[in-house]
Structure 1
């Protein structure tokens, strides 16, 4: 997108202000981009860790598979997922805090002795599943924001700032040429008056 401008001082001042804003924002955007790159790398490692922890809990569940099959799973549901929003490099991402399970009509004093083991497993599995999903969402948010920031840096650095500089240079040349022509015309008029 080429900047629209007129060959006058007002347009020159407007383009100068736009250039100053973009040149001021560019280092900030570059810092944000590098911070987001570092966070993406960090969150990829956290995602791998969350996947391995989730798989570990799943493997633990294979030992309880027969008991889980006899457990009334339809009476267990996730009640609340407590998530807080935290800003990283100016980007709000969800962070896990807690998961609450809800049990419907289970008489614990009449339940078999293995119910607490299955309950503990289901709670760990729910926590690890929520953590895994949040880790995926965090990474997606950070990657999307890093991509947008990189695009903006490239737009400023490779397109808009050079175009603004070029437009300012053209306006300055035009105004200088106009001034030189005006001075030359004045000299011609002056020399004709002297001759007459």
Structure 2
């Protein structure tokens, strides 16, 4: 994206102002990018750990297939998920709050003794699964923000700042050349005027000499 400018002092001042603004903002944007990059790495690791935890829990359930075949999964359902918000380098991201479960009443006398523990295991597994899902959403938001910030850093560092510096240099050279030409023209004009004055003075002296002879 080429920098648009004109060869005059007003444009020169505008380019200087734009350059100063970008040079002042760039360190802040780079700090934001660094913070987002670190947070992306942390959240990614957290999500991977949660997903591994879910897979491990499912494998543990598989070893108890005979027991779980007796369990009624409709006894437990997620009633509500409370999401909160935190900011990372100014970017709002979701954070899991409380997860509300509804557990249908069941008879402790007519169900296996491990049913109470089973309902808690289901709730724990669901909570970890929801945490992983919220983490993936958070990761997507952070990765998008990090990519946009990196693009802005590259735009400033590789396009706009060099482009503005080049434009300023071109305008300065043009104005310097224009000033040099103007000074040269003034010298030529002054020399021409001096020459005309000298001619008139010589003519007047010659005329005076002729009058004296006559």
TM-score after normalising by structure 1: 0.89
* Counterpart position of 2:191: 191
Q: How far is 1:62 from its partner? A: 2.8
Tell me the secondary structure at the aligned position of residue 97 of structure 1: strand
Superposed CA deviations along residues 27-48 of structure 1, whole A, max 9, x for unmatched, are 1111112222221222222122
The answer on whether the counterparts of 1:33 and 1:146 sit within 8 Å (CA) in structure 2 is yes
Larger deviation, residues 26-35 vs 70-79: 70-79
* Counterpart position of 1:137: 137
Tell me the secondary structure at the aligned position of residue 6 of structure 2: coil
1-structure distance, mates of 2:69, 2:172: 81
* Counterpart position of 1:12: 12
C-alpha spacing 1:108/1:177, structure 2 compared with 1 (3 Å): farther
Q: How far is 1:121 from its partner? A: 1.3
2-structure distance, mates of 1:70, 1:11: 80
Tell me the secondary structure at the aligned position of residue 97 of structure 2: strand
Instruction: Note the 1:57-76 alignment, pairs <5 A.
Output: 57-76=57-76
* Counterpart position of 1:3: 3
Tell me the secondary structure at the aligned position of residue 79 of structure 1: strand
Tell me the secondary structure at the aligned position of residue 44 of structure 1: helix
Tell me the secondary structure at the aligned position of residue 121 of structure 1: helix
The answer on whether the counterparts of 1:64 and 1:118 sit within 8 Å (CA) in structure 2 is no
Instruction: Note the 1:33-72 alignment, pairs <5 A.
Output: 33-72=33-72
Any unmatched runs of 5+ in structure 1? none
Any unmatched runs of 5+ in structure 2? 197-214
Bigger Rg over Cα: 2
Superposed CA deviations along residues 93-121 of structure 1, whole A, max 9, x for unmatched, are 111222111235x3456652333122111
Superposed CA deviations along residues 8-44 of structure 1, whole A, max 9, x for unmatched, are 1111111111111111111111111222222122222
The answer on whether the counterparts of 1:67 and 1:118 sit within 8 Å (CA) in structure 2 is no
Superposed CA deviations along residues 157-182 of structure 1, whole A, max 9, x for unmatched, are 11111111001111111111111111
1-structure distance, mates of 2:73, 2:46: 30
* Counterpart position of 1:89: 89
The answer on whether the counterparts of 2:76 and 2:123 sit within 8 Å (CA) in structure 1 is no
C-alpha spacing 1:13/1:96, structure 2 compared with 1 (3 Å): same
Q: How far is 1:63 from its partner? A: 4.8
